[in-house]
Amino acid sequence: MSALQLMQWTTRLLLAAAAAMLLFGILRWAAAHPRFELRRIEVRGEVAHVSAAAVRAALAGRLQGGFFAVSLPQLRQALEAIPWVAAVSVRRVFPDRLVVTLREHRALGVWSDGRLLADDGRLFAANVAEAELDGPVVQFDGPPRLAPEAARRYAEIAAALAPLALTVAALEISERGALRVVTDSGLRLELGRDEPPGRLRESLARLAAVYPYVLAQLGEPPRGIDLRYPNGMAVAPRRGAASAAGKS
């Protein structure tokens, strides 16, 4: 490398260093300037259980440094710790505003360990009384690792029972995935496992077809129905002996 080329490279490096120092100085000045203090926090999203006050409390003490210096990942982490928060995004709006967009959990019911079960299968800690404000709370029981499966099966079963004017009040899932449901009327449904795949859907369809006939025959809702049979079901009246409908 010639002396001229060396001088050119040195000049470029010095200019780059000077530019970096100037930029650093500007950023430090902007971070400390009152004009760029964070003055507003705007909360967006369809929220029923997370208040603006809770958001501000979670962010308290984390807004030092102003608009340019605040750490958005740290703010997100703090907001995700608020009960009911399922997802959160935080962005800056120049010159002095933070926009926080929240998505809440939608609780299906309460798990046997006291946590709430969200419709996406996640278990989260929150006040059960708040969930009850949205309507009746379904009782879930089973191994926590099967919570996603329980949420998925609940949606399937609830949709199948709705035309029969039956509502799921409790759902239990065993270690092996066997399902048991109790309706709001006290009807106990033994559903078993979905093996082979599709068996549960067939059992629910069979129940939908036969249940009106069962009601007509008994004159009242039965105490329980066992749908674990491949081609039928066993019906337990509220009094008297059990009867079978196509049981085999």
What's the rounded mean pLDDT across residues 167-189?
97
In angstroms, the CA 205 to CA 196 distance is 16
Question: Of residues 61 and 148, which shows the higher confidence score?
Answer: 148
pLDDT band with cut points at 50, 70 and 90 for residue 15: low
Q: Does the model's pTM come out above 0.95?
A: no
Mean pLDDT for all residues in the chain: 86
Provide the token pair at 189.
């449904």
Position 157, amino acid:
I
Residue 222's pLDDT is: 94
Class of residue 14 by CB neighbours under 10 A (exposed 0-12, middle 13-18, buried 19+): exposed
Largest Cα–Cα distance in the chain?
Answer: 108
What's the rounded mean pLDDT across residues 164-193?
97
Helices 72-80 and 52-59 cross at an angle (nearest 10°) of 130
**Which has the closest alpha carbon to 77: 69, 68, 85, 67?**
85
Residue 189's pLDDT is: 98
Residue 24's pLDDT is: 47
Residue 8's pLDDT is: 59
Question: Concatenated DSSP letters for 157-197?
Answer: HHHHHGGGT--EEEEEE-TT--EEEEETT--EEEEE---ST
Residue 30's pLDDT is: 46
In angstroms, the CA 183 to CA 171 distance is 9
Cα distances (angstroms) measured from residue 103 to each of 50, 73, 90, 153, 211: 10, 17, 12, 23, 39
**Which has the closest alpha carbon to 144: 165, 115, 108?**
115
Residue 52's pLDDT is: 87
Residue 106's pLDDT is: 95
pLDDT band with cut points at 50, 70 and 90 for residue 31: very low
CA terminus-to-terminus distance, the chain: 93
Question: Of residues 217 and 35, which shows the higher confidence score?
Answer: 217
Q: Which residues fall within 8 angstroms of residue 233, CB to CB, at 6 or more apart?
A: 203, 206, 207, 210, 225, 226, 227, 244, 245, 246, 247
pLDDT band with cut points at 50, 70 and 90 for residue 203: very high
Residue 96's pLDDT is: 83
Question: Of residues 144 and 5, which shows the higher confidence score?
Answer: 144
In angstroms, the CA 164 to CA 211 distance is 8
Cα 154–Cα 159–Cα 164 angle in degrees, nearest 5? 120
In angstroms, the CA 146 to CA 241 distance is 35
pLDDT greater than 70 at residue 245: no
For 80-112, the pLDDT digits (tens) are: 999 999 999 999 888 888 899 999 999 999 999
In angstroms, the CA 3 to CA 158 distance is 82
For residues 126 and 68, is the Cβ–Cβ distance under 8 A? no
pLDDT greater than 70 at residue 172: yes
In angstroms, the CA 219 to CA 164 distance is 15
What's the rounded mean pLDDT across residues 72-76?
92
pLDDT band with cut points at 50, 70 and 90 for residue 211: very high
pLDDT greater than 80 at residue 29: no
